[in-house]
Amino acid sequence: MDHDDEIAPAGPDTTVDGQIRDLTTILSRLSARLTLLGGRLRHVEERIDVLFHSDQRPADRPAPWVLGTSPEIADEPTTFVANFVSWYNTTYAAPARFQASRHTVSIPACWQQHPALAAEIASLAYAWRQANLGPEANERDAQHWHDRWRPAFAARITDWADAECLEGDHRVVDAVTRDKEGARP
């Protein structure tokens, strides 16, 4: 260490009590410095592990099988789910004129106004995230998401949003409307 002046007391005391106090100060400062350096060393070791062990990806890094784009990762759940919706519609939904099956329907812009649909989307988004991001991601979960989660969600989307919503015209559906018309939320 080249910062001895930061560790040693300002003026040495020649009395026994003063020397003990000075040594206590030096030990306290050395202990604090060692704690700081230990934390930095652990951080460096963690970074080295991530760099040299391919199975340890950072939580926000896509797995190697995620080709192309992925939803922008956000810590705040509502933001992540909104990013997922945008990515999903860009990646999986076909334009209306090409929608030959119910599995290519876009998530409507009004999805947040349909609580059941929002809940479905949130679980779909986080299932995708678990299967495709970070060190716990694995190919089996990713394939399961494509084979089961996404098609099942696409099949149920009409359970949670009216046809008008899927066509871009949000329809307000509340408890009174459901009772009168038998409409879904």
For all residues of the chain together, what is the average pLDDT? Answer: 79
Residue-wise pLDDT tens digits, 66-109: 887 788 887 888 899 999 999 999 888 866 555 555 567 889 99
Answer yes or no: is 120 within a domain.
Answer: yes
Residues 32 and 87 in one domain: no
pLDDT at 40 exceeding the cut of 60: yes
Answer yes or no: is 126 within a domain.
Answer: yes
The per-residue pLDDT for 72 is 80
pTM of the shown model:
0.60
Which domain covers residue 46, as residue numbers? 4-52
More confident residue, 17 or 179: 17
Burial 108-140 (b: 16+ CB within 10 A, else e): bebbebbeebbebbbebbebbbebbbbeebeee
Residues 169 and 97 in one domain: yes
Percent of the chain exceeding pLDDT 70 equals 73
Answer yes or no: is 106 within a domain.
Answer: yes
The per-residue pLDDT for 121 is 96
The per-residue pLDDT for 162 is 79
Handedness of CA 169, 175, 181, 184 (dihedral sign): positive
For the chain, the domain total comes to 2
